[in-house]
Amino acid sequence: MARSAQPQDKAARRRMAPPMQFGGDLVLWAAWLYYEEGLKQDEIALRLGISRASVFNLLQKARDEGVVTITIDPSRIARADLAMKLHELWGLAECYVLPNEGGDTPLHDRIGRLGARIVEQKIGDEDIIGVAWGRTVLSLSKALSPMQHPGVTVAQLTGSSMATHDFSPEFCTSNIASRLNARCVNLHAPGVLSNAAMKDLLMREPMIEQHFALLRRCTMTLFGVTHLDGPTLLQNSGFMQPSFIEEYRAAGAVGFASGYFFDIEGRIVTTDFDSRHVVMPLEDFRRVPSRICIGGGASKFEAIRGMLRARIATILITDQTTAEALV
Amino acid sequence: MARSAQPQDKAARRRMAPPMQFGGDLVLWAAWLYYEEGLKQDEIALRLGISRASVFNLLQKARDEGVVTITIDPSRIARADLAMKLHELWGLAECYVLPNEGGDTPLHDRIGRLGARIVEQKIGDEDIIGVAWGRTVLSLSKALSPMQHPGVTVAQLTGSSMATHDFSPEFCTSNIASRLNARCVNLHAPGVLSNAAMKDLLMREPMIEQHFALLRRCTMTLFGVTHLDGPTLLQNSGFMQPSFIEEYRAAGAVGFASGYFFDIEGRIVTTDFDSRHVVMPLEDFRRVPSRICIGGGASKFEAIRGMLRARIATILITDQTTAEALV
DNA sequence: ACATGTCTCTGCCATTTGTCAATGACATTT
DNA sequence: AAATGTCATTGACAAATGGCAGAGACATGT
């Protein structure tokens, strides 16, 4: 029956009316029949008068365009017991742990994907999201699926650096904003100035003041962590000269997140450099209700622990290895 | 390579650590690797140390339990051009049209499924949903996927009938409430009383008064439509005797929705019967912001048109044939 | 009018997924 | 202790899907 149907296909197709149904929106049509009504691609092809391969292509398009979305309940991930332990142990509001055994994509991409799912789910219609930068944040931004959030604002948390890499702060924010169809507000200022006086001057600029006023209204922030051993992004990106990092390390700092340095006990570490560093004041930052830190990998363990002790994040997204080390 | 791997599987499995990762939540684990990381079932089986068939079963469980959900963007359905035409022509807030060419399940189940997707997407955390009854509403309730909406209230819109069928008003409401994990408030009163005096008396009962007060706070209602020709559910269900329906028909009524009769022009039709009929006053009903009518099939066309003219619904969910007839 | 480039669609084959009867572990009853 | 029932797991097989190279449609430039 299925066999003998093959030769009829073409004839049957010709007999059919041109595909004008469902507003001619074949992508939608195919997606509905496949995912909701559970028809086989064959059947859909027959009914729509196209080849099965085309149906396959339509379905792929539907997934790409976000007409159909496949979601994994993030609350279930938060309920997984490693996550629960971290949540209790570190006083986190929420915690998400990426399983170790995964594909062979780089870890930051995998964590980024997990982060994307969580951000998608948490985002509210009128949120103001402060976004820092980093490899994992960028991965997250790329993994976000297209959404309609015209009321959301994505704001740059830190000043910019010379973009020697493909992930500048601006790129992270604009990437996220475009996925969400949200407003993007960049901070048009260097992240590091040549002297303290210049910083003070700049901070009084109306445009900059306005931006920091906006940041104070953030409902959510999103940032990575970095450790300070060896060549990290901080220096590679040209954001900060090695000598300054050395200074912080000398003062005991083990990590950097969202603009702040901290030591192994979670104490904030400051040096002269802070007076030239354009960043949201820590008190303001700590007032943001949801502060999402995303990062993992064995090398970051100390930094993440320090960051947790410093209570910089309220929500942590990390990988299994790091999570296990943290309990 | 794939061939020769087969015999190794069992040995490989034995070598593996017991599956303790991801909180031992294999369902979640498999779902993540499959849907997010895009691994093949084979690979997952290998990494988890179970057979591929088990992976398949886990994935199925994940879908059944709602750990993963597959959604079709309902706004896209509303944007399909038939829906747009109805929206403009009838002043509906929203309109959704089910494609004709679908599986071979009964139409009301198919429309119910579409309705379920839309309700799932529209539902807010504190909604109060008034639910009438009918075959399609019941189908909808069965097609809802499990969700967490503890703040939502599902309230019975009309009084009860002798449940000669499997779809009583109570069954519709409790079904919906249990899917949503919402509060279920039933109306413990007959839908039709023997005389007007009895109705008046009953309406003054505190419990009943309370219920109607709750209904006035509804943010959303959900109901079907029925035509009045031939044996409809109204009589089959024992809700209403044929003679009364005859009376309404004699007065020009062509349909019945959510407790009200109306004629072909959309005028509300009343008879003596109304004075014995326990139902939300129409003025109150019309004040509910979202009034979702779900129903289709050629036989209901006239009834649906009358219902639309009577402005009973603000949102219509129907099938393509009916939609085409309505433009 | 013809050539050229760009896209989409097609038909086929390798791979992946879904189904099912049989197996074995474990709990309950006799 | 043996018999029986229940249920998750498995391997083998059938069906469905994904990928791809080439055909065909369509538009644009020569």
CA of B322 to C1' of D25 (A): 36
Q: pLDDT per residue over B192-203, tens digit each?
A: 888 888 888 888
For residue B166, the model assigns a pLDDT of 60
Instruction: Compute the count of residue pairs across chains A and B with CB atoms less than 8 Å apart.
Output: 121
Q: List residue ranges whose Cβ is under 7 angstroms from nucleic strand D.
A: A 2, 34, 40-42, 52-53, 56, 59-60; B 6, 9-10, 13, 50-54, 57
Which bases of chain D come closer than 7 Å to a protein CB? 9-12, 15-20
Mutant choice from A13, A25, A32 vs B, greatest count of B C-beta within 10 A:
A32
Q: Which residue has the higher pLDDT, B222 or B9?
A: B222
Alpha carbon distance A45, A39 (integer Å): 10
Q: pLDDT per residue over B266-316, tens digit each?
A: 999 998 888 888 888 999 999 999 999 999 998 999 999 999 999 999 999
For residue A163, the model assigns a pLDDT of 52
CA angle B201, B204, B177 (to 5 degrees): 115
Res. B165: pLDDT tops 80:
no
For residue A111, the model assigns a pLDDT of 92
Nearest-Cα distance to chain B for A246, in Å, is 38
Question: Residue A255 carries which side chain, given as an amino acid letter?
Answer: G
For residue A13, the model assigns a pLDDT of 40
Return left, alpha or beta for A63; rule: phi > 0 is left, psi -120 to 50 is alpha, else beta. alpha
For residue B322, the model assigns a pLDDT of 92
List, as one string, the DSSP characters of A149-175. -TT-EEEE-B-B----SS--HHHHHHH
Q: Are A72 and B28 within 8 A, CB to CB?
A: yes
For residue A75, the model assigns a pLDDT of 82
For residue B7, the model assigns a pLDDT of 38
Contacts of B31 in chain A (CB under 8 A): 72
Residues B106-114 have a mean pLDDT of 90
Nucleotide nearest to B50 (CA to C1'): D9
pTM: 0.76
Q: What average pLDDT values come out for chain A (327 residues) when binned by 10 residues?
A: 36 39 70 87 82 84 84 83 85 88 81 91 91 90 86 88 64 87 84 83 85 94 90 62 83 91 93 86 93 93 94 93 89
Residue A246 neighbours by CB distance under 10 Å: 12
Cβ proximity of A94 and A75 under 8 Å: no
What domains, with CATH codes, occur in chain B? Answer: 2-64 (1.10.10), 75-326 (3.40.50.1360)
Question: Residue B79 carries which side chain, given as an amino acid letter?
Answer: R
Nearest-Cα distance to chain A for B324, in Å, is 10
Nearest-Cα distance to chain B for A287, in Å, is 25
